[in-house]
């Protein structure tokens, strides 16, 4: 009898422990009341690691302005973050404020998280400044905004000004000048465009650049046509863009063995002047600068895809997005922090550190000369979001990224990859 009792007690204790671990306090929307009262308690923030240098100073200032509040911020690399945030949301332990990718395309993106009810509708927060309409497609669903992007980032060819001058190369404004640029680099014993395809995100950047001109500028409705089944990647100018990507490879534009080269090595080559340029995210310019010898300066151009410079668009997208937990433990502090981040001073400081443009134009921001082309094209409306932000699931992007490696490795043809992207697009 005693042993049976002991077994029962042990099981009951374990069950109680399990129940306690699985449950969480249920915050109510009413907790948002009293937002004007001094903030107290703890505010928990979760973000991807690259946000840390830009976010930490804002957090410090916010804490200083709210002495009764403790802010805890945790950071993780993109993939680990995406895995963690989903688990935290479903188990009720997610941060109050956290990184949400605008649009779609990965497991931590707005289109994935919002339908599950875990994201707060930011339209309900009074005093949050309006965002440019151009960002609505990747920050709103059914007129409700779920993500607040701090910046606009672009994809362009960052070039080492001293290395370009030494090689006697000319910054290209047309497609044929791109090939001339590569030739000049090769003649000078350098690489035209350093390329580290082993880092998977890099694989997509040149195709995004070329298609922004060839596909999306030429037909701004292309994405909705694919969605409706009226167009496919395979039978579009995506094929031409991919072929031009391989033309650049055939012309010796890239680092030798790009599939075995990491982005770190590609960036180091650009910083040292072994490579003249590299098509990259604007957010990486500060990292490249940090690797470069003192006195090295960098510029950026939009990668041309036609013979008319006026045709050229560049990819630019809402970036560094943040959302609020619909079941935040400290909703008042979460809303106050988002408004603090959206202030002109915070926007300017964040964009400066992140190496991007602030998502809301402010005179507090001093433009980095290397971002001039992004600023010009963004204001002129000659940009298109990163395509994967509009794709319906992450598998399309994966098919594209792994496909680029396969084509470079001779494992598949361009048609195979575009077809795989079409299949993935329709799958879910």
Q: How far is the CB of 23 from other proteins (least distance, A)?
A: 15
Residue ranges of E strands in 142-232: 144-145, 148-160, 191-193
Residue 128 and residue 247: Cα distance in Å, rounded? 47
Which part of the chain contacts other proteins (CB under 8 A), choosing from 5-13, 224-232, 236-244, 284-292? Answer: 5-13
Which of 14, 33, 60, 246 forms a contact with other proteins (CB under 8 A)?
Answer: 14
Q: Which is nearer to other proteins, 139 or 393 (CB)?
A: 393
Q: Which is nearer to other proteins, 134 or 423 (CB)?
A: 423
Q: Are 47 and 80 in contact (CB under 8 A)?
A: no
- Binding to other proteins (CB under 8 A) within 218-257 occurs at 256-257
Q: Which is nearer to other proteins, 273 or 403 (CB)?
A: 403
Angle at 42 between CA 36 and CA 46, to 5 degrees: 110
Which of 50, 66, 82, 359 forms a contact with other proteins (CB under 8 A)?
Answer: 82
Q: Which is nearer to other proteins, 14 or 246 (CB)?
A: 14
Q: What count of other Cβ atoms lies within 10 Å of the Cβ of residue 121? A: 17
Q: Which is nearer to other proteins, 42 or 79 (CB)?
A: 79
Q: Is 79 in the site for other proteins (CB under 8 A)?
A: yes
Residue 23 and residue 237: Cα distance in Å, rounded? 52
Which of 209, 393, 400, 422 forms a contact with other proteins (CB under 8 A)?
Answer: 393
Q: Is 389 in the site for other proteins (CB under 8 A)?
A: no
Q: Are 390 and 138 in contact (CB under 8 A)?
A: yes
Token pair for 285: 């310019």
Burial, 283: exposed, middle or buried (Cβ in 10 Å; 0-12, 13-18, 19+)?
Answer: buried
Count of residues in contact with other proteins, rule CB under 8 A:
46
β-strands 191-193, 275-281 pairing: parallel
Residue ranges of E strands in 282-377: 298-301, 314-324, 357-358
Q: Which is nearer to other proteins, 123 or 257 (CB)?
A: 257
Partner residues linked to 279 by β-bridges: 157
Q: Are 290 and 361 in contact (CB under 8 A)?
A: no
Q: What count of other Cβ atoms lies within 10 Å of the Cβ of residue 287? A: 18
Token pair for 175: 């497609």
What character string, x for contact with other proteins (CB under 8 A) and - otherwise, covers 21-60? Answer: ----------------------------------------
Half-sphere exposure for 81 (CA within 13 Å, toward CB) = 21
Tokens 């129940």 — which residue?
19
What character string, x for contact with other proteins (CB under 8 A) and - otherwise, covers 158-197? Answer: ---------------------------------------x
What character string, x for contact with other proteins (CB under 8 A) and - otherwise, covers 86-125? Answer: xx-xx---------------xx----xx-xx-x-------
In the complex, the residues that contact other proteins under the rule CB under 8 A are 3, 6-7, 10-11, 14, 18, 79, 82-83, 86-87, 89-90, 106-107, 112-113, 115-116, 118, 197-198, 200, 256-262, 265, 393-395, 398, 402-403, 405-412
């Amino acid at each position: 009898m005693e042993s049976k009792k002991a077994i029962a007690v042990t099981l009951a204790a374990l069950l109680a422990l399990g129940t306690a671990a699985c449950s969480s306090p249920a915050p109510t929307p009413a907790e948002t009341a009293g937002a004007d009262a001094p903030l107290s308690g703890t505010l928990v923030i979760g973000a991807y690691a690259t946000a840390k240098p830009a976010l930490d100073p804002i957090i410090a200032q916010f804490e200083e302005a709210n002495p009764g509040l403790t802010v805890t911020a945790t950071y993780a690399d993109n993939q680990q973050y995406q895995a963690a945030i989903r688990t935290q949301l479903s188990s009720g332990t997610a941060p109050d404020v956290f990184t949400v990718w605008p649009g779609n395309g990965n497991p931590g993106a707005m289109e994935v998280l919002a339908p599950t009810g875990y994201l707060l509708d930011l339209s309900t927060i009074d005093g949050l400044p309006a965002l440019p309409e151009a960002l609505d497609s990747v920050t709103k669903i059914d007129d409700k905004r779920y993500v607040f992007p701090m910046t606009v980032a672009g994809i362009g060819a960052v070039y080492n000004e001293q290395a370009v001058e030494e090689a006697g190369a000319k910054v290209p404004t047309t497609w044929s000048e791109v090939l001339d640029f590569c030739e000049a680099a090769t003649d000078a014993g350098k690489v035209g465009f350093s390329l580290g395809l082993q880092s998977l995100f890099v694989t997509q950047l040149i195709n995004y650049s070329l298609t922004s001109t060839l596909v999306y500028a030429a037909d701004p409705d292309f994405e909705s046509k694919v969605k409706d089944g009226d167009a496919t990647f395979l039978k579009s100018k995506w094929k031409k863009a991919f072929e031009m990507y391989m033309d650049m490879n055939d012309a010796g534009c890239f680092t030798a063995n790009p599939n075995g080269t990491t982005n770190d090595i590609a960036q180091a080559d650009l910083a040292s002047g072994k490579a003249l340029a590299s098509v990259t995210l604007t957010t990486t310019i500060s990292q490249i600068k940090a690797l470069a010898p003192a006195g090295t300066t960098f510029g950026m151009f939009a990668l041309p895809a036609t013979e008319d410079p006026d045709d050229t668009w560049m990819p630019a997208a809402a970036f560094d997005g943040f959302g609020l937990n619909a079941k935040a433990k400290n909703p008042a502090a979460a809303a106050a922090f988002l408004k603090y981040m959206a202030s002109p001073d915070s926007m300017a400081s964040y964009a400066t550190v992140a190496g991007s443009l602030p998502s809301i134009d402010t005179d507090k921001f001093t433009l980095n000369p290397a971002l001039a082309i992004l600023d010009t094209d963004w204001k002129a409306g000659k940009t298109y979001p990163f395509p994967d932000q509009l794709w319906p699931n992450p598998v399309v992007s994966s098919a594209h990224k792994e496909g680029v490696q396969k084509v470079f490795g001779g494992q598949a043809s361009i048609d195979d990859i575009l077809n795989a992207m079409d299949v993935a697009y329709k799958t879910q």
